[in-house]
Chains A and B, each alone.
Chain A
Amino acid sequence: MIEICNLNFSYFGKNSGAIKDINLNISKGEFVLLTGLSGSGKSTLIRVLNGLIPNFYGGRISGSVKVQDMNVFEEKPRILAQKIGMVFQNPENQLFMNNVESELIFGLENIKLSRSKIEKRLNDTIELLGLESMRKRSINSLSGGEKQKVAIGAILAMQPEIFILDEPTSELDPKSAEEILQVVQHLNKKLGITVILIEHRIDRVIEFVDRLIIMKDGQIIQDNKPKQIFHEENNSNKYFIPPIIKLFLEIIKQKNILLKYKISPNDIPINIEECSLILKEFFADLTFNESNIKCLQQNNEKYMQKFLDSTPLIEFTNVNFEYEKNNIILSNINFKAYPGEFIAIIGDNGAGKTTFLKLFNGLLRPKNGSIKIKGKNLKNLSVAQISRDVGYLFQNPSIQFYQDTVREELEVVLRNFKIHSENAKELLEEYSDRLDLKSLLSIYPRYLSYGEQQRAALASMLVIQPKILIMDEPTHGMDSLQKDHFFNYLDEYRKNGNIVILVTHDIESLTKYPERILFFSEGKIILDDFSENVLSHPITSQFTPQINRLIKNFPNLPNKIIKTEELLELIENAEI
């Protein structure tokens, strides 16, 4: 269906190729997962498939690309669109109409269908995606997940034979992401549509896909069935291995376990059910001595004691918030945070997480109750004044840059806060060094890669040395390598007596760094506890990490484990 032969492409004005020597055949009905670190050429490759490259973006191209015997280079993207549907990352920028129904109709009218055909396809699409209840709703009133569903519907209505999705879930919460992925899976399995999906968070989709392609530096470095790929001992894959596969690979390193429980090393489990089936006997035989389990709990108590003597840096007392009268968004929030804490906030969309964050620096003001930062009440301070102590990092880094170079970006912040002369220079040097920005200082910020942008945005916050750093979904769209780096910076920062507070949907990062997690629901803090307690709690089920899900199938294992490493350590010390 898709034939790519010796494809090379470099963007206009760049010497190095964005994609190099790609040979790829995709046959009808396949579900292909395309992944790789940021900047590895995934987005470029799919834009070749639907003709946006070279027709929309200029550059040098060679080789050949055929989609159903059509030469892609010669057709306009709008003609190809009838065969190849493409859903983009940001749902907001691909919807044009005022309500859901007109959005679905728009594409159908564009391909000049007759009225009766439009009606049929409209109704089919609505039924297929379950959009009936929002048919007449205005696009502006939809949530992110709903918008993305409509965007998928709008493409689906045009009945393409190939469906390409470019990180469709990166801006969504786990629940909506799950829904979208289910829809995609349905399209592939039930309707036999060929699907090419780009996704960073592999663990959620790996079980549905027929084929996994990993790209690096513009080349395809792995292309096989998922089980095969993880089976091979290959270092270049290490950023993409889902937790349960990682666990499995570690366990089978011990030959005696393999022999005793007759586990075949080729039989890589790709979902929790498979994993628990394969490791069932092994896990059932594990017995732990009390001291091991106690050790985990003791750690928790020690953590609590750390703060007994210190004064809180942040103090919320009985805070309520509402946008309009009688529409309460946050009610009765009491919260304290101490220097050195790393706190994550989780919860459904609309639970009040972002509202809560915006109270920290006065972007929103509470209806009643008091908020104190470093002992000062925020009531009469402006956002700019509070920002001296509270840095706030927004979700999308690129919209945070307005200057011509990264250096100016940092200088403006220093100037705004009236940090002048020598001191400013030193700070700029220090933070650009610490965040590896030295070589990027004279580049236009929006030209940077995603990870670099996020680092530059972080630098522009840290350069004034705030005591508290607030972040709203900082990791969305980052690959695992970037995430690791990013969190390492944060960890270092909070160890200097600062506080990091972030909202995130990224479950695997949640297991690694934050020590304390708040769970929000309907404007209230429902849980405020150590991360393992919150993530293993039944009411946060949609945030439960893979390892914890696995463990819950085995009552003899301590049920609060959330990290792969933790479980492995426990297994090492256990008696078989």
Chain B
Amino acid sequence: MKILQLTYKPKENFIYRSNGVVKIFILLNLFMQSFIFNHPFYLGIIFFNILILVRFSNCWKEILIYFRFMLIISLFTFFINIILYPEGTTIIFQISNDLQLIGGFKITFETLISSLIIILRLTLIFLIFGTFNLIINPDELIQVLVKLKIPHSIVFIITLSLNFFPLILKDLEKIREIQQCKGLELEKGNFFTKFKNNVKLILPLLTNSLERSIQNAEALEARAFDIKGKREFYRTIRIRFSDYFIIIFMIFYLIFQIYLAFQGFGEYIIYPTLPKIFLASLEYYVLFFSLFSNFLIIGLLYLGDKIKK
């Protein structure tokens, strides 16, 4: 049940203890950054920043599982991209022939680099989601949504899906076991038979989930769900002064980054010919600032936790 390790489990450290809204803002910021910049140095710094966050929240082990999964997807993306997008001028490898349907085949240096950047970006996004899953208590997320005045029915659907994720994983594990006992070979054989047999797990999973949903609906009726009247939430999230400070800082920081992106910072134009990778000196200051601000925020979180204690 390795997969179950990837859901939120409370841990004793200041990142886990700190306010959910703040954590959401920090991750949102990193997420936006990995979208607006594409220069490898910028992405590298973001990557480093995430690792720092993971280090302090003490969830290396879980993140490594994400990494392993990411590796497979990356390899796949890498090759697909190289084959299907042979643009650019620096040709490394070429088969030129006159087959009319397929045409020639070439690999360019530009595609190679752009594929690497895509992988790096994908990994970043994946890691951010992973960290989000690990360090943010679903309950807190729900409270944040309530605070943002999102209709309760929508909030409830989100709660439900968050909590049923582990249940569905358990179901999948059980179906795997049952099918194996019925003689379905999932351990031996070549990649394709294994893949084909694994697909046979999906339909049962759907059937089971549907059956579960009927029982859920019954139980929801028994809990008087969705009757008319104004709902008063018992628990709401409390945001303290130091949290507000970080949130406001994050908002300004994000605006600043978007401004920079418009000014052409962190942009790496690959096609048609790959330019030099080095940046203008001003941009190194920006990178440094990004690193610094990450440490600053983690420091503030730590201080906030100390004060609370």
A residues with CB within 8 A of B: 50-52, 56, 76-79, 81-82, 85-88, 90, 92-94, 96-99, 102, 105-115, 118-119, 122, 138-140, 154-155, 158, 323, 358, 361, 363, 382-385, 387-388, 391-392, 394, 398-400, 402, 412-413, 416-417, 446, 460-461, 464
Contact = CB atoms under 8 A, between A and B. Distances in A.
Contacts of B216: 93-94, 96
A88 B225 contact: no
B225 to A, nearest CB: 5
Interface string B202-238: 0110011001100111111111111101111111000
Given A98-B137, A112-B229, A158-B224, A384 B185 contact: yes
Given A93-B219, A96-B223, 18 more contacts: A78-B221, A78-B225, A81-B224, A87-B222, A94-B222, A97-B163, A109-B234, A110-B224, A138-B9, A155-B223, A158-B223, A363-B177, A383-B180, A384-B185, A384-B188, A387-B181, A399-B175, A399-B204
B277 to A, nearest CB: 43
Given A112-B227, A115-B232, A387-B183, A98 B138 contact: yes
Contacts of B254: none
B218 to A, nearest CB: 6
15 contacts: A82-B224, A88-B215, A98-B139, A106-B223, A110-B224, A138-B8, A138-B10, A382-B186, A382-B188, A394-B178, A399-B174, A402-B179, A402-B207, A416-B184, A417-B183
Contacts of B137: 98
Contact of B225 (A93, A110, A122, A392): A110
B180 A50 contact: no
A159 B182 CA distance: 46
A118 B175 CA distance: 40
Given A383-B186, A416-B183, A112 B234 contact: no
B162 interface: yes
Interchain residue pairs A-B with the least CB separation, the first 8: A416-B183, A94-B219, A112-B229, A383-B180, A382-B187, A77-B221, A93-B215, A81-B224
A224 B142 CA distance: 49
> Taking each of B163, B174, B234, which has the highest tally of chain A beta carbons within 10 Å of its own beta carbon?
B234
B232 A118 contact: yes
Given A110-B227, A118-B234, A387-B181, A56 B187 contact: no
B167 interface: yes
B159 A98 contact: yes
A387 B185 CA distance: 10
A430 B223 CA distance: 48
B280 interface: no
A575 B167 CA distance: 60
Contacts of B221: 50-52, 56, 76-78, 81
A79 B184 contact: no
Given A78-B225, A99-B139, A392-B181, A56 B186 contact: no
Contacts of B307: none
Given A111-B224, A112-B232, A98 B174 contact: no
Contacts of A392: 177, 181
A197 to B, nearest CB: 16
Interface residues of B, number: 57
A139 B8 CA distance: 12
B230 A112 contact: yes
A544 B162 CA distance: 42
Contact of A387 (B180, B219, B231): B180
Contact of B211 (A94, A111, A387, A446): A446
A93 B212 contact: yes
A417 B252 CA distance: 64
Nearest to A86: B222
A107 B224 contact: yes
Contacts of B163: 96-98, 139
A398 B180 contact: no
A119 B180 CA distance: 49
A122 B234 contact: yes
A96 B224 contact: no
Contacts of B8: 138
Contacts of B304: none
B160 interface: yes
Nearest to B181: A392
B44 interface: no
A50 B183 contact: no
A109 B219 CA distance: 16
A382 B233 CA distance: 52
A384 B180 contact: yes
Given A383-B186, A383-B187, A399-B175, A96 B160 contact: yes
Given A98-B139, A361-B181, A399-B175, A92 B224 contact: no
A96 B223 CA distance: 10
Nearest to B212: A93
B162 A85 contact: no
A402 B188 contact: no
A88 B181 contact: no
Given A78-B227, A112-B229, A399 B208 contact: yes
Contacts of B9: 138
A139 B187 CA distance: 32
A109 B215 contact: no
B86 interface: no
A74 to B, nearest CB: 15
A119 B204 CA distance: 42
Contacts of A85: 222
A249 B73 CA distance: 70
Contact of B204 (A87, A109, A402): A402
B88 interface: no
Contacts of B178: 394, 399-400
Nearest to A380: B188
Interface centre among B9, B186, B223 (most CB of A within 10 A): B223
Contacts of B7: 140
Contacts of B156: 96
B203 A96 contact: no
Nearest to A110: B224
B166 interface: yes
A98 B222 contact: no
B259 to A, nearest CB: 39
Contacts of B208: 399
Contacts of A88: 215, 218-219, 222
B139 A102 contact: yes
Contacts of A87: 222
B225 A413 contact: no
A160 to B, nearest CB: 9
